[in-house]
Amino acid sequence: MRQRVQLHRNRYKQLRIDMNTQQTSQGLERLVFDNKFTRELPADPEQKNFRRQVEQACFSRVRPAVVRHPEKIACAREVAELIDLPEFECESQRFADVFSGNALLDGMDPYAMCYGGHQFGNWAGQLGDGRAINLGEVINKKGDRWILQLNGAGPTPYSRDADGLAVLRSSVREFLCSEAMFHLGVPTTRALSLVSTGEQVMRDMFYDGNPTLEPGAVVCRVAPSFLRFGNFEILSSRGDTDTLRALLDYTLRTDFPHLGNPSQEVYLQWFEEVCSNTAEMVVHWQRVGFVHGVMNTDNMSVLGLTIDYGPYGWLEDYDSDWTPNTTDASGRRYRFGSQGQVAQWNLFMLAQAIYPLIDEPEPLQKALDSFARQYTSGWNTMMANKLGLSEYRPAGDDELIAELLNVLALLETDMTIFYRRLTKISSATSPDASDSELIVPLQDAYYDPAQLDIEVSKKIAGWLRKYIHRLRTDAMDNTQRVQQMNSVNPKYVLRNYLAQLAIDKAHEGDYSMINELLELLRNPYAEQPANERLAEKRPDWARDRAGCSMLSCSS
């Protein structure tokens, strides 16, 4: 009898799987593709996939590599909804096949983009999508355009000496961070899915001559556009003004239609908007303590989206000189405190690239100057919001903020925890309390409370007294202040060690922590009592461990 019941259960379970698979296949097949990029812009005439210089073209058509055994690890339901796919449709093998690159849907027109870039301040020539392949452009029911891009889908003409593949550890980091940033309110590309490939990929993680085999994976990125500063730079560097103009005209018609028909005046308006969007993005990075790690011009989106999650990291202890990129360890070009200046430098390179279409330096310089003003203004407003102030007042607040940054650097101070705990200080807090009493609400933010000697405590408490005085002159009441601070200062971020723990489990075939973190980071500003352990400071074991402190550019 038990065997008969179990047989019926198994048949019912298989029937449900078959029905879901059929529904999923139908859902995937209903995706509407309108591949405007490949339809309107010049293509590389060479159809074979081999490494080469590609000129007078914006892209090369290329098919993703076939992998041994694709398996879906995780899917972001909100991103699936963007392209009209219900969450259950992500469970089929057909979904894994499509978003690993093993199967193409009708209407897909896969290609890799041609672009160049300045890397660490030096012109690197042609770079391009070395391991990213755009599957096609989906138009959803609202009429929105979403490009599906596989990262780690195999070699392209732009792969140089690489294999075009990606490994599980970097793919986990990219998948989780893309979605974490979105829910933090940071402009970003999205991630639909994380799929393991069943392949083993050779990587030298530390660039020390000891490569090892690692499990492979593919992330499906989703964005309205993946155009970078470098797409324009490569054409300008080659004197290909006709293709440069065609690309910019396409960009205006597709992603900036509100600016009007292409013209020299509209080109300038476009550059001004790129400057504005970039300033907004980097201010958000500074707000949450995010360090991109590799702000080359080929990693800068013209839409002002965070793009290419390579050796990124979050500040654990506050350090304006910190960079997560081992390649940048000596020069620290892309350190946390310099991200605004680097963004402006990158915009200057973009201005140079489109100069042949403008032929006037003054309006381009004017836009660059406006970036500096907007970034400074945005940063000041952002800091006032983090401190729970109703407005930024230059007289007094400049000094208050500058002193705060010095206080944060006095000893190892967890930036995320510090700002969340600062809500415990209010206008009602007595400035006459002792230094040690004033600091009590912030104790958990310090990695080694024993470093709070008399001198350090005096400086921290001195700043807190100035902060209390400032709160007493502000129009915002305490309830509003706490709400504001908790809406801009996250409780949860994708701490470097948390991502590494998820990677460690994934290497053992356990993907549970990936999905646990995905769910946690959907509500980064909310108090989640059951997840308090995931808001804790970096543990000592993670201080110098690979993946928890600094990372290489190795995929």
Assess contact for 72 and 121: CB atoms under 8 A.
Answer: no
Among the listed residues 44, 298, 308, 317, the single catalytic one is 298
Assess contact for 57 and 129: CB atoms under 8 A.
Answer: no
Assess contact for 194 and 175: CB atoms under 8 A.
Answer: yes
Q: Is the pLDDT of residue 237 over 60?
A: yes
The span from the CA of 420 to the CA of 489, in Å, is 6
The 10s digit of each residue's pLDDT in 182-212 is 999 999 999 999 999 999 999 987 777 889 9
> Where are the domains positioned within the chain?
2-229, 241-385, 389-475
Q: Is the pLDDT of residue 508 over 60?
A: yes
Q: Is the pTM of this model over 0.85?
A: yes
Percentage of the chain beyond pLDDT 70 is: 95
What distance, in Å, lies between the first and last C-alpha atoms of the chain? 54
Q: Is the pLDDT of residue 136 over 60?
A: yes
User: pLDDT confidence of 26, banded at 50, 70, 90?
Assistant: low
544 an active-site residue?
A: no
Assess contact for 183 and 523: CB atoms under 8 A.
Answer: yes
User: pLDDT confidence of 57, banded at 50, 70, 90?
Assistant: very high
Over range 447-455, report the average pLDDT.
95
Long-range contacts of 426-435, Cβ-Cβ distance < 8 Å, separation of 24 or more: 426/468, 426/471, 426/478, 426/481, 427/468, 427/471, 427/472, 427/474, 427/478, 428/478, 429/464, 429/468, 431/464, 431/465, 431/468, 431/469, 434/461, 435/460, 435/461
Six-digit token string for 479: 């309830």
Q: Is the pLDDT of residue 17 over 60?
A: no
> What sign does the dihedral 371-489-285-289 (CA atoms) show?
positive
Q: What DSSP element (H or E) covers 407?
A: helix 394-408
The 10s digit of each residue's pLDDT in 509-546 is 999 999 999 999 999 999 999 999 999 999 999 998 88
Percentage of the chain beyond pLDDT 90 is: 91
pLDDT value at residue 1: 39
